[in-house]
């Protein structure tokens, strides 16, 4: 498995697990209270922070435990990376526009923060799934 | 799906059983990229196609084929 595909798997798992933990923690702390009353700030920051650290540690472990390939990208890696990032970027734009509209409409910060985080997570998931699919099933840039 | 086919595998063996890793080193790409090209899972850039042909000491059109029709 190419190093870049391994990296995509790590990012995908880290994104899904950290977001899953965040949602479970916030919903679990509600105890019947409305959603926007949830203490979401600390879990959100922990979720992002732990996810970043986990990605770094897992990359190091993957390089040690599952050797094969290097972090050096060749033309195919760059082509696949570029297309997958373009694909994921759509959700970043959607998240930014949604957050801007919510702020203009004076929505509660809970919803603004969460729509941004959700779209970041969806962008990462879409981007990494695209990357894995292009490595697995082929890629013809022209 | 691409209609471009290639004879890299055959030509590697004709070049003294050159391995995928050897070819990858000469072209400056990963072995996985050579495997993907051989299997028709990746269409290389024109520059990479010329590098592969040069490494195999074969004209470009003998390495890659594009059938008409």
pLDDT (mean) for B43-66: 93
Q: A87: Cβ–Cβ under 8 A, 6 or more apart, which residues?
A: A126, A127, A130
Partner A contacted by B28 (CB < 8 A): yes
Question: Under an 8 A CB cutoff, do B45 and A75 touch?
Answer: yes
Q: Give dist(CA A21, CA A136) in Å, integer.
A: 29
Top residue of A132, A138, A139, A141 to mutate, by most chain B CBs within 10 Å, is A138
CB < 8 Å to B48, chain A: 75
Q: What is the pLDDT of residue A1?
A: 77
Top residue of A71, A140, A142 to mutate, by most chain B CBs within 10 Å, is A140
SS3 B65: strand
CB distance A14 to A58 below 8 Å: yes
Q: What is the pLDDT of residue B2?
A: 66
- Structure-model confidence comparison of residues B49 and B2, the more confident one: B49
Top residue of B20, B38, B41 to mutate, by most chain A CBs within 10 Å, is B41
Burial A76-95 (b: 16+ CB within 10 A, else e): bbebbbebbeebbeebbeeb
Question: Under an 8 A CB cutoff, do B44 and A74 touch?
Answer: no
pTM of this prediction? 0.83
Q: From the CB of residue A120, how many other CB atoms can be counted at a distance below 10 Å? A: 17
Q: Which of A137, A86, A93 is nearest to A119 (CA)?
A: A93
Q: Which residues of A touch B (CB under 8 A)?
A: 1-2, 69-70, 72, 74-77, 137-142
pLDDT (mean) for B51-65: 93
Q: Give one DSSP letter per residue of A65-126, joined into a string.
A: HS--S-S---HHHHHHHHHHHHHHHHHHHHHHHHHHHHHHTT--HHHHHHHHHHHHHHHHHH
SS3 B3: coil
Q: What is the pLDDT of residue A67?
A: 66
Q: What is the DSSP letter of A32?
A: T
- Which positions of chain A have pLDDT values less than 70? 66-71, 142
Q: What is the pLDDT of residue A125?
A: 96
CB < 8 Å to B29, chain A: 74-76
Instruction: Output the average pLDDT for chain A.
Output: 90
pLDDT (mean) for B29-52: 92
């Amino acid at each position: 498995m190419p190093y870049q595909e391994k990296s995509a798997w790590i990012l995908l798992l880290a994104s899904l697990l950290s977001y899953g933990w965040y949602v479970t923690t916030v919903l679990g702390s509600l105890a019947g209270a409305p959603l926007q009353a949830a203490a979401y700030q600390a879990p959100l920051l922990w979720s992002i922070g732990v996810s970043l650290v986990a990605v770094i540690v897992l990359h190091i472990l993957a390089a040690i435990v599952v050797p094969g390939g290097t972090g050096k990208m060749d033309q195919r890696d760059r082509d696949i990376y570029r297309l997958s990032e373009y694909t994921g970027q759509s959700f970043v734009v959607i998240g930014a526009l949604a957050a801007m509209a919510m702020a203009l409409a004076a929505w509660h910060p809970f919803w603004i923060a969460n729509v941004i985080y959700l779209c970041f997570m969806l962008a990462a998931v879409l981007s990494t799934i695209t990357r894995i699919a292009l490595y697995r099933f082929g890629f013809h840039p022209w | 799906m691409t209609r471009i086919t290639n004879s890299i595998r055959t030509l590697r063996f004709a070049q003294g059983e050159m391995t995928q890793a050897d070819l990858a080193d000469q072209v400056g790409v990963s072995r996985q990229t050579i495997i993907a090209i051989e299997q028709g899972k990746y269409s290389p850039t024109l520059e990479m196609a010329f590098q592969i042909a040069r490494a195999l000491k074969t004209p470009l059109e003998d390495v890659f084929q594009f059938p008409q029709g």
